[in-house]
């Protein structure tokens, strides 16, 4: 569910009479294909003058959208027909040439060369026969002819005679077989997910045999290896840990919480009677207000509120705040309402600095019930910690807790806050409004710059830890794929410790593996680290250490340096030696760049698999893109060549359907060559017996219907139904 709402200045115009009196103009961006961005301004008459108001994706209803919480809306059309964003995205999945297709094209050219050679040999044979045996075979009535003219006449005669040696119908046969192979994949109940009624879907049938030749898999983590069903498990507030379930050996018995963990029930007590009470209040207020979640009240469930969140993380944090007594109850265009232990509080929303993959944080600015303006910010630890002010006594304890959470495989966020003076906010609001009314393609960049001006000198409140469980069958699937010789790279935006822990959980890496960790701050240090590790590995190979024992872990900052032109080959040489690679804290662009790097330097088939919009660039960069139809939506599935519902289905998709398809196509092509060669080489050898006269050995119907009727079924049966090894053995 996406938030779509009118700007406050027009939200109260609900009757036709109100709409008829509305005057103004809209300045909109030109038509484009971006579904998630929109830049426009509305200029309205206000108080005898004009007022320019920003419009963003929240005010844009796309063609094909369905209204959920209102029966009707008034609107103005900004794009029509082929200029709508939906139509501009209505393009077919790009056609990718497979290795088999490229090889077949070369072989067809070779057969064309053989056809020319046979025609030349037969034409020369006719001239030689005329010259040497013409008088002996007087009964054939050979007449003197021009040698050159006769050669060309014979050449084209023989060309037609042998032309079916080049199997033109092979291409049609291949396409039909691939189409049926795609149907077999889509109808396989073993890769059908009944919980969501989601079958596998081959969006393009041209790549089915590539599935059987994959050497590298590039996988996202959240929603791909994990369920993307988030649950709020632990928090660190003012340097004190709280959790929903606390093991007895870690339970805190002291009042200060310096040692051990309190359970969540202790929070209410500490919120009232503890030195950190004020920070606890701000922490929980941030959880319940700093988000884009929409509350839906269900009349069928006694008025219970259901939260519709754009991402599972936000939903889990809001649900977590509810369990801790801070209930988010309503959202208005310019305010949010929360209920704190039965007492309702309204926070006036002044501005939102939205999350994106570059900023890695989200900020909301409220005028709180006490009249003060506060900026609440949540985001990755790397971006929050560098924006803290000087007086932050809980940084060291929070960092230690973050490491503990990451070691348990939990997803972490840091929460921070600052009070903003009125004068500073007024000055900043002017800058922010100017950025918000920018039209021309750089609004997002200008708004990011404006956000930087107020996101500083934060007070660290604490951190959250969210659990995202592994999908069923992931460890077994990864182990099986690695046993099959496929190398798996995991590209994730999570912390290094979280990524390593998940890698251990899913059997991507094991305890006996040597971890090569690269997390440097500068390009020079990154180069030295990579060079040192590569030299050590190459020297140790002679001592018997194999790739089975190596795994590379690199963070986003080091990866930025490693992908530079002068360092990328060094990074790749080290990475391909390792059995597994984990890239953490990476952006969507970096995911695509890693795939393109391997694609550029390695002659191997690459597969990328992901579930969210941030995986689309990676999916499209690989030879084969697999999309997971999951909680994050269908952006990845729509951009992929094949979509599945669970990561574990990848095993049968590659090891059974992929292997079968590759063997079937290969055998069918070879059979096609064989049957055509058997027929037309017989015709060629017969030419030596008939004096290269161009006489046909077969009856004309045989020649005409040989490929289209008499031998049409064996290639299809072989290409669609052949199982060179049983599915049980392959899987």
Is 220 flagged in the annotation as binding? Answer: yes
Is 84 flagged in the annotation as binding? Answer: no
Strand partners, 624: 607
Q: Which pTM was predicted?
A: 0.76
pLDDT at 384: 93
Lowest-confidence region among 370-379, 413-422, 497-506: 497-506
pLDDT beyond 80 at 120: yes
Is 258 flagged in the annotation as binding? Answer: no
Distances (CA, A) of 712 to 169, 366, 654, 723: 10, 73, 29, 19
Is 222 flagged in the annotation as binding? Answer: yes
Fold of 228-467: Calcium-transporting ATPase, cytoplasmic domain N (3.40.1110)
C-beta atoms surrounding 469 within 10 Å: 14
- 298 SS3 class: strand
List of residues 6+ apart from 534 with CB closer than 8 A: 570, 573, 574, 577
Among 484, 615, 599, smallest CA distance to 221 is for 615
- 495 SS3 class: coil
Residue 532 and residue 389: Cα distance in Å, rounded? 37
pLDDT beyond 50 at 670: yes
- H-only helix segments in 352-492: 381-385, 395-407, 422-436, 443-452, 474-483
Is 614 flagged in the annotation as binding? Answer: yes
pLDDT band at 354 (very low <50, low <70, confident <90, very high): confident
pLDDT beyond 70 at 86: yes
Residue 59 DSSP symbol: G
Residue 29 DSSP symbol: P
Same fold, 200-226+471-658 and 228-467: no
C-beta atoms surrounding 194 within 10 Å: 9
User: Known catalytic residue: 528?
Assistant: no
Which of these CATH numbers, 3.40.50.1000, 3.40.640.10, 3.90.79.10, 3.40.50.10800, describes 200-226+471-658?
Answer: 3.40.50.1000
* For residues 698-713, average pLDDT: 87
Q: What DSSP element (H or E) covers 87?
A: helix 85-88
Is 591 flagged in the annotation as binding? Answer: yes
pLDDT beyond 70 at 129: yes
| 53 token code pair | 């108001």
Is 314 flagged in the annotation as binding? Answer: yes
Residue 12 and residue 22: Cα distance in Å, rounded? 12
pLDDT beyond 60 at 253: no
pLDDT band at 212 (very low <50, low <70, confident <90, very high): very high
Contact of 534 with 562, CB cutoff 8 Å: no
pLDDT band at 545 (very low <50, low <70, confident <90, very high): low
Rounded to the nearest angstrom, the gap between the alpha carbon of residue 574 and the centroid of all alpha carbons in its chain is: 25
pLDDT at 89: 66
Is 719 flagged in the annotation as binding? Answer: no
% of the chain beyond a pLDDT of 90: 48
| 654 token code pair | 């590659």
pLDDT tens digit sequence for 12-44 = 888 888 888 888 899 998 998 777 788 899 998
Is 134 flagged in the annotation as binding? Answer: no
Is 691 flagged in the annotation as binding? Answer: no
CA atoms 437, 441, 443, 446: torsion sign:
negative
What spatial distance separates the first Cα and last Cα of the chain, rounded to whole Å?
38
Contact of 412 with 402, CB cutoff 8 Å: yes
Distances (CA, A) of 707 to 103, 108, 663, 679, 683: 22, 16, 22, 10, 16
Pairing, β 411-419 against β 361-367: unpaired
Torsion angle of alpha carbons 210, 216, 221, 224, nearest 10°? 20
pLDDT tens digit sequence for 619-628 = 989 999 999 9
pLDDT beyond 50 at 214: yes
Lowest-confidence region among 69-78, 153-162, 243-252, 443-452: 243-252
Residue 326 DSSP symbol: E
pLDDT beyond 60 at 254: no
Among 223, 222, 263, 233, smallest CA distance to 465 is for 233
pLDDT beyond 60 at 306: yes
Is 249 flagged in the annotation as binding? Answer: no
The domains of the chain are located at: 16-88, 99-175+659-692+701-730, 200-226+471-658, 228-467
Contact of 615 with 588, CB cutoff 8 Å: yes
Please pick, among 220, 468, 555, 641, the residue that the annotation labels catalytic.
Answer: 220
pLDDT band at 181 (very low <50, low <70, confident <90, very high): very high
For the beta sheet containing 214-219, the strands, ordered from the edge strand earlier in sequence to the opposite edge, are 201-202, 642-644, 624-628, 605-610, 214-219, 487-491, 580-584, 550-555, 514-518
Is 355 flagged in the annotation as binding? Answer: yes
pLDDT beyond 70 at 95: no
Is 611 flagged in the annotation as binding? Answer: yes
pLDDT beyond 90 at 601: yes
pLDDT top residue among 459 and 408: 459
pLDDT tens digit sequence for 577-597 = 998 999 998 888 899 999 999
pLDDT beyond 70 at 611: yes
Angle at 269 between CA 267 and CA 272, to 5 degrees: 105
| 261 token code pair | 């963990």
| 551 token code pair | 């795994």
C-beta atoms surrounding 388 within 10 Å: 17
pLDDT at 544: 65
pLDDT tens digit sequence for 563-573 = 999 999 999 99
C-beta atoms surrounding 113 within 10 Å: 11
pLDDT band at 257 (very low <50, low <70, confident <90, very high): very low
Residue 444 and residue 192: Cα distance in Å, rounded? 40
C-beta atoms surrounding 52 within 10 Å: 16
pLDDT beyond 60 at 92: no
């Amino acid at each position: 569910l996406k938030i779509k709402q009118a700007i406050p200045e027009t939200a109260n115009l609900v009757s036709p009479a109100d709409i008829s009196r509305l005057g103004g103009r809209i300045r909109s961006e030109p038509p484009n294909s971006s579904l998630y961005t929109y830049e426009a301004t509305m200029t309205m008459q206000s108080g005898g003058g004009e007022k320019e108001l920003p419009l963003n994706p929240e005010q844009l209803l796309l063609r094909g959208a369905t209204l959920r919480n209102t029966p009707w809306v008034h609107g103005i059309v900004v794009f029509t027909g082929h200029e709508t964003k939906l139509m501009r995205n209505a393009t077919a999945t790009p056609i990718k040439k497979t290795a088999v297709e490229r090889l077949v094209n070369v072989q067809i050219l070779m057969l064309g060369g053989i056809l020319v050679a046979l025609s030349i040999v037969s034409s020369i044979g006719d001239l030689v026969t005329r010259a040497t045996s013409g008088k002996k075979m007087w009964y054939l009535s050979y007449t003197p002819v021009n040698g050159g003219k006769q050669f060309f006449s014979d050449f084209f005669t023989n060309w037609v005679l042998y032309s079916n040696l080049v199997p033109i119908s092979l291409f049609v046969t291949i396409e039909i077989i691939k189409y049926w192979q795609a149907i077999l994949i889509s109808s396989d109940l073993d890769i059908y997910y009944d919980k969501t009624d989601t079958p596998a879907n081959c969006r393009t049938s041209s790549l089915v045999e590539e599935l059987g030749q994959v050497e590298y898999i590039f996988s996202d983590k959240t929603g791909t290896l994990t369920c993307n069903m988030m649950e709020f498990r632990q928090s660190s507030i003012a340097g004190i840990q709280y959790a929903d379930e606390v093991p007895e050996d870690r339970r805190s018995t002291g009042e200060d919480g310096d040692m051990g963990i309190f359970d969540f029930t202790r929070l209410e007590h500490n919120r009232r009677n503890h030195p950190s009470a004020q920070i606890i209040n701000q922490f929980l207020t941030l959880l319940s207000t700093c988000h884009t979640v929409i509350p839906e009240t269900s009349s069928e469930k006694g008025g219970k509120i259901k939260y519709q969140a754009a991402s599972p993380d936000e939903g889990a944090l809001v649900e977590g705040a509810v369990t801790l007594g801070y209930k988010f109850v309503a959202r208005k265009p310019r305010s949010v309402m929360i209920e704190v232990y039965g007492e309702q509080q309204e926070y006036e929303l002044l501005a939102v600095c939205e999350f994106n993959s570059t900023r890695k944080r989200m900020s909301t600015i409220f005028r709180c019930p006490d009249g003060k303006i506060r900026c609440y910010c949540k985001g990755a630890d790397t971006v929050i910690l560098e924006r803290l002010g000087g007086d932050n006594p809980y940084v060291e304890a929070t960092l230690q807790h973050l490491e503990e959470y990451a070691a348990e495989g939990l997803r972490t966020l840091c929460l921070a806050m600052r009070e903003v003076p009125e004068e500073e906010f007024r000055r900043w609001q002017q800058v922010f409004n100017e950025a918000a009314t920018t039209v021309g393609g750089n609004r997002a960049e200008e708004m990011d710059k404006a956000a930087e001006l107020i996101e500083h000198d934060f007070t660290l409140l604490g951190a959250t830890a969210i659990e995202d469980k592994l999908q069923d069958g992931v460890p077994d699937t990864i182990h099986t794929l690695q046993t099959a010789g496929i190398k798996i790279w995991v590209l994730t935006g999570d912390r290094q410790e979280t990524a390593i822990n998940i890698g251990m959980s899913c059997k991507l890496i094991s305890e006996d593996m040597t971890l090569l960790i690269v997390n440097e701050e500068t390009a020079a240090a990154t180069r030295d680290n990579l060079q040192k590790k590569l030299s050590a590995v190459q020297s140790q190979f002679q001592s018997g250490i194999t790739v089975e024992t190596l795994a590379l872990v690199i963070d986003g900052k080091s990866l930025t340096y490693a992908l530079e032109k002068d360092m990328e080959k060094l990074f790749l040489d080290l990475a391909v030696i390792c059995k597994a690679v984990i890239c953490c804290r990476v952006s969507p662009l970096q995911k695509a760049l890693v795939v393109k790097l391997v694609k550029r330097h390695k002659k191997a088939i690459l597969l990328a698999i992901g579930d969210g919009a941030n995986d689309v660039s990676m999916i499209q960069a690989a030879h084969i893109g697999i999309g997971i139809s999951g909680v994050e939506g269908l952006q990845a599935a729509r951009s992929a060549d094949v979509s599945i519902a669970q990561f574990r289905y990848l095993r049968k998709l590659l090891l059974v359907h992929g292997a079968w398809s590759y063997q079937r196509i290969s055998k069918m092509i070879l059979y096609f060559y064989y049957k055509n060669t058997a027929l037309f080489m017989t015709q060629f050898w017969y030419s030596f017996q008939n004096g290269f006269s161009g006489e046909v050995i077969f009856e004309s119907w045989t020649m005409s219907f040989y490929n289209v009727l008499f031998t049409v079924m064996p290639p299809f049966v072989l290409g669609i139904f052949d199982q060179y090894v049983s599915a049980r053995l392959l899987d």
